[in-house]
Structure 1
Amino acid sequence: MKFIKHLFLSITAFTVLTSLMNLNSITVKADTSELSTIPVIALGTSLKSKQRQQTIKVLTQFLHGANYQETNTTGKDLVKYLNPAGNNFTINSKVWSSAMLQKTKNHGVQVQIIPYHGKNNITTTTEDQYANAALTAGIQNCKIYITSAVPIDGSNALAGVYKACKEQGTNLNQKQIDAAQDEINTLSSINNQNKGENNYSDSQLNKAIAEAKKDMSSQKSNVSNDQIKAIINNQLSNNHLDNAINNDQRNAIFKLLENVRDSGSLNSDFKFQASQLVGQINKKAHKLVNNNKSNTLPTNFNFLDWFTGFINSIAKLFKGSYFF
């Protein structure tokens, strides 16, 4: 009888222990899944204490008190992510720019540069350039917020985004990162060369690039050099940039899109993300016109872009969506 009692107690204890272990296993799995969706802030390691706290405040204002994770972007990260693309960073390089990555559902990549103390300290790289480069790097369906405590050109800000992706469990392909960094440098350079030109805007160029990526995705890795060139010419024409982009700039655009193809980026997911980016650039341009309450148009305003946005807004009333 004593033996049966001990046996019963042993079986009961084993059952309880097993149940607790299974419960713990389920809980850990749920926590891990939740962590992958929590926004990640990548803070430049050169920030001083007050700058760091202010940067966190600037980036998290859109979370409305929700949880977030923190990580640091160091010189070592610049070496890891950016040097293969041709940069010459060292582990002692200063890092000021900071970024927050927040996942979304099927809305593509959206980028917003946030002023620091009311000033935009990202002096060269634009939101559309960041978004296009993030697309090339393989980043999908997220909001990216970027700021800097000091004035910088912003060319290395995406290193923090790449680091944040890793913290969320997404390891990006280095070839795609290299293509993205080449792209951001190329588009920034073309934008700088065309500043002040009335028949050019950064949004027009980035829309043309995103649409070219979408067209290339339809043919995936089989798209030839001649087809890429035809796609470029077609999209530059569609976006009224024929007279704004010179031959050297066309060749630079061809090279960056060739790199996109060779990096292995092109697939159906990439096509969807490119389509989302085209739509977001369209909406942003449309909003810019609507928010312009004076009769003075922006320096880079293009009437044909405005007219397209106007027609799209009318169509939206009847169909509920924009034409892209």
Structure 2
Amino acid sequence: MKKHWKKFSILTLSFITAMTMLLPSLASADAIEAQTVVTLGKDLTGTQRDNILAEMGVDENSGNVRIVDVTNQEEHQYLGKYLSDNVIGTKAISSAKITINNSGGISVKTKNITNITPSMYANAAITAGIKDADIYVTAPFRVSGTAGLTGIIKAFETATGQKIDENKKEVANEEIVVTSQLADQIKDPNKAVQFINKVKEEVSDQKPETPQDYRDIIVNVSNDFNINLNQETINNLVQYAQNFNKLGIDWDQISSQLQSLRGDIKDILNSDTTQGIIDTIFEWLGDFFSSIGEFFTNASDKKN
């Protein structure tokens, strides 16, 4: 009887050990399968949908990629406060793919996106709390890309099972809009992204309390970057800065994410105001030498 019991105990222990080793592998396999998520615009045609998936290198029937739809209603939900209905449109076209990576950091690539650059997506994604992800945003034809962040956030939530705070979603979408508008005004998308980052840094550091405090920050940063802003843009930036500050995001946390960026966006988003200061110096030198030239020209005219 003891022999049988001993044999049974050994078999039981072996079974438990085997299952203990197997279960983490199964869990790991599930995690790998859930790492890549594609969000497709709900209003894509069947052909467009197939082409987008082929472009992304995704096999819909493989079972390794989760595919979810993004609706135009969702786009209006997050952009409706900042853009008119006509600008947002009536169809969800932009699509996104997120792959959660183990190496850390964020990388972004786009295709057929005209107004929103990869660095804009990365910046807003960090504000929303997205990290450790390879992001790809595309469309079957050229679109502004403003609604692309909606798909990115939804894909990240689906891939990680983590729900992003609604306030962060709204501010991140607002950031996409104000950065795009600023880029359109100053004709420099990279400088616009750097400008927004500097505003976030100053807001986090100075802890402004009144609307005038926020306005002073915006004006001072614009001076540092040698940018002339119209009043409408300043008002929009003040409102955005106030909304960002309410999130209570520590700048060190954002800075850490910026340092872990990968690809060209790392250089863009980690740049400081140096270029703006250099531009200001060259402009001053230009005016200075121009004044000297005018002085000698006038002196010469008087002699003649």
The within-5 A match list for 1:174-323 is 174-192=166-184, 194=185, 200-218=187-205, 222-225=207-210, 226-241=212-227, 243=228, 245-274=229-258, 283=267, 304=278
Secondary structure of 2:67 counterpart = strand
Report which of the two structures shows the higher radius of gyration computed on alpha carbons.
2
Secondary structure of 2:249 counterpart = coil
Q: Tell me which residue corresponds to 2:26.
A: 28
Question: For the residues of structure 2 that align with 1:249 and 1:275, how far apart are their CA atoms?
Answer: 29
1:187-230: per-residue Cα shift (whole Å, max 9, x none)? Answer: 333444x2xxxx642222221101221333345xx443455333
**Following TM superposition, by how much is the alpha carbon of 1:78 offset from its aligned partner in structure 2, in angstroms?**
1.6
Question: For the residues of structure 1 that align with 2:156 and 2:92, how far apart are their CA atoms?
Answer: 18
Question: For the residues of structure 2 that align with 1:202 and 1:236, how far apart are their CA atoms?
Answer: 15
Structure 1 residues 264 and 213: alpha-carbon distance in aligned structure 2, compared to 1, 3 A threshold:
same
**Is 1:5 equivalent to 2:3 in the alignment?**
yes
1:238-270: per-residue Cα shift (whole Å, max 9, x none)? Answer: 2221x2x11221111111111111123334212
Q: Tell me which residue corresponds to 1:143.
A: 134
Structure 1 residues 233 and 59: alpha-carbon distance in aligned structure 2, compared to 1, 3 A threshold:
farther
The one-letter code sitting in structure 2 at the alignment partner of 1:20 is A
Q: Tell me which residue corresponds to 2:68.
A: 72
1:100-159: per-residue Cα shift (whole Å, max 9, x none)? Answer: 22345454x443222xxxxx2x34333333233222212224332111013433222112
**Following TM superposition, by how much is the alpha carbon of 1:87 offset from its aligned partner in structure 2, in angstroms?**
8.0
Question: For the residues of structure 1 that align with 2:4 and 2:73, how far apart are their CA atoms?
Answer: 59
The within-5 A match list for 1:163-178 is 163-169=154-160, 170-178=162-170
Q: Tell me which residue corresponds to 1:129.
A: 120
Question: For the residues of structure 1 that align with 2:119 and 2:198, how far apart are their CA atoms?
Answer: 13
Instruction: Let me know the Cα RMSD of the aligned residues.
Output: 3.7
Secondary structure of 2:147 counterpart = coil
Structure 1 residues 85 and 29: alpha-carbon distance in aligned structure 2, compared to 1, 3 A threshold:
farther
Q: Is the 8 A contact 2:224 2:277 kept in 1?
A: no
Question: For the residues of structure 1 that align with 2:126 and 2:53, how far apart are their CA atoms?
Answer: 25
Secondary structure of 1:150 counterpart = strand
Question: For the residues of structure 1 that align with 2:84 and 2:74, how far apart are their CA atoms?
Answer: 9
The one-letter code sitting in structure 2 at the alignment partner of 1:240 is N
The one-letter code sitting in structure 1 at the alignment partner of 2:22 is N
Q: Is the 8 A contact 1:96 1:148 kept in 2?
A: yes
**Following TM superposition, by how much is the alpha carbon of 1:88 offset from its aligned partner in structure 2, in angstroms?**
9.8
Q: Tell me which residue corresponds to 1:112.
A: 109
**Identity in percent:** 21
The one-letter code sitting in structure 2 at the alignment partner of 1:165 is F
* Greater helix share, structure number: 2
Q: Is the 8 A contact 2:226 2:277 kept in 1?
A: no
List alignment gaps of at least 5 residues for structure 1. 62-66, 115-119, 286-301, 309-324
**Is 1:96 equivalent to 2:93 in the alignment?**
yes
Q: Tell me which residue corresponds to 2:78.
A: 82
Structure 1 residues 83 and 237: alpha-carbon distance in aligned structure 2, compared to 1, 3 A threshold:
closer
Q: Is the 8 A contact 2:96 2:138 kept in 1?
A: yes
**Following TM superposition, by how much is the alpha carbon of 1:162 offset from its aligned partner in structure 2, in angstroms?**
1.1
Aligned length: 264
